Structure 1
Amino acid sequence: MNRRILQVGPLKPSLAATLTERYNALVLPDDDTRSGFLAEHGPTIGAVVTTGRTGVSADLMARLPSLGVIVNFGVGYDTTDVEAAVERGVLVSNTPDVLTDCVADTAIGLAIDTLRGLSAADRFVRRGDWPQAAYPLTRKVSGKRVGILGLGRIGRAIATRFEAFGCPVSYHSRREVPGSPYPYAVSPAELAAEVDILVLATSGGSGTQHLVDRKVLEALGSEGYLINIARGSVVDQDALVELLLEGDIAGAGLDVYTDEPEVPAELMALDNVVLLPHLASGTVETRAAMEQLTLDNLDRWLADGTVLTPVPEVASRGAARSR
């Protein structure tokens, strides 16, 4: 088993330093020297460490014939071609659980900010508008009907938090969750039609591309709010922008976008839209825990060819094994 480590894409500085100092990791160039680098070093690489923002394509895997594992810093891994990894017998890991609380907290914060207009009210005060006019009335959060799209670890944590606000919760997932106390909607559109706040907590990737399409957004309607802490790819962003501009959706709280870090310019002036720079897991505590789990996965693979937290596709199929 080749044990050489390759960093693909930018990483948290402390993690990148550890990979270099402790593991003597190489860093994949992002310029015209990449091809020559891969020709020289590709056959020696056993492990890649990357993030959900960069990932590993099937083409890159093909240049790494001894690759045994892709260790992902972050819970999202839709930028990695997992099907290609499974076919090649390559393990893929991510960092679930450790970021659940902070992402769920962010979803609640976005919902409160979006419905109550807190960021917009802050701008109102800073502009000096308060002496001239009263700030417009906003919408109550407590008691609102909440729909969770994706009742996994993060989705359940979000649901629990909304319950504390007296909010009735329902959900849609790829399949009904056994033992869930929440009503199940058979489709995203049905869920959207029944709620005031639709929270997206599903995974990214080809299986959820534009899961929230125009039909779902129109079902949410002019009194409904969209909160997205999942992936930008889950939403038809063009349709979302159009419906927000036309007043056909009441508002949106967004932490993720289709082409990050690009944000649609049309949303910048809308006070009923809260825009965050993909920071849901961005706390000191959570990022430290993610870093440690990334290293724990790498160490486990180096020790015995397994990982602590394989992604669901790999874990369920059981087809991936280190070479």
Structure 2
Amino acid sequence: MPKSMTGYGEGISSGKDRSIRIECRSVNHRYLDISVRLPARYAAFEALIRSLSQEQLGRGRVEIRLTDEPGEDAAHKVALDESLARAFLDALNQLEALTGVSCTGKVSWIANQTGVLTIRDDYENENLMAEQIQEALYGALGELNKARKVEGERLADDLLAKTEELRELVALIARRAPAIPGIYREKLIQRAEELFEEKRPEWYSDQRLFAETALFADRSSIDEEITRLYAHLDALGEALGSDLPVGRQLDFLIQEIFREINTIGSKANDLELTQAVVASKTLLEKIREQVQNIE
């Protein structure tokens, strides 16, 4: 069965130096839209993350977030930005000369300024980082796809049930349609009798009545629409049983079914038929809303 576009997955890769955690969240979207949020030191791996994700995802807006924690054997270095520290010191000395007031705690103040002192990992092995990122990402994508599959199966079951309801309404329309010309003819006869009573004008004849009925039957015929509707419903059922991404195909089929239902509605000249058309459109709208979340 098809997958949903909604889901969540998490993957963790633990090493001696660090532990990398990747979270993947997805919602429905017309195309595949991947958003990657990384700490600055992992920026070089964004292309790798996008490439691996595109291999396993078809559609949806996907947010991928990477965080890390130092491991037990993590080693760190504190780096000093000498030029920045010297610039702060020169500025403080100028401030003292300008105001005549001595600035106390210069070193402490400078050390607290952003960028002066930075903690750097002493294990920046790119190959090892790439391996850990892949391990965590595959874990997260695997969990995400499992969640999307479970949700997709639930959606598909519900959509199949609604498709059968729609098929029953189409069958009702198909059974009712052949009787409409006869009902129309009876209404014409009744109306003529009310108008003319027992005295009919010279131009009035049963042949004219039959011709009018035949013309109405031709104009109101929905045989072709019914045939196409059954074909679309069969295709809808087959698509919902597929494991491939079928969201776009389902969108197209829903549009075509709407088109046929609207055509039948425009030809309907019967209360029961009109009610069935309205019920079909209401049900079809519910189907369309759910289809928007199918990959």
Q: TM-score, normalised by structure 1?
A: 0.22
- Structure holding more helix per residue: 2
- Please tell me whether Structure 1 or Structure 2 has the larger radius of gyration of its CA atoms: 2
Quick one: higher RCO (CA 8 Å, sep 6+), 1 or 2? Answer: 2
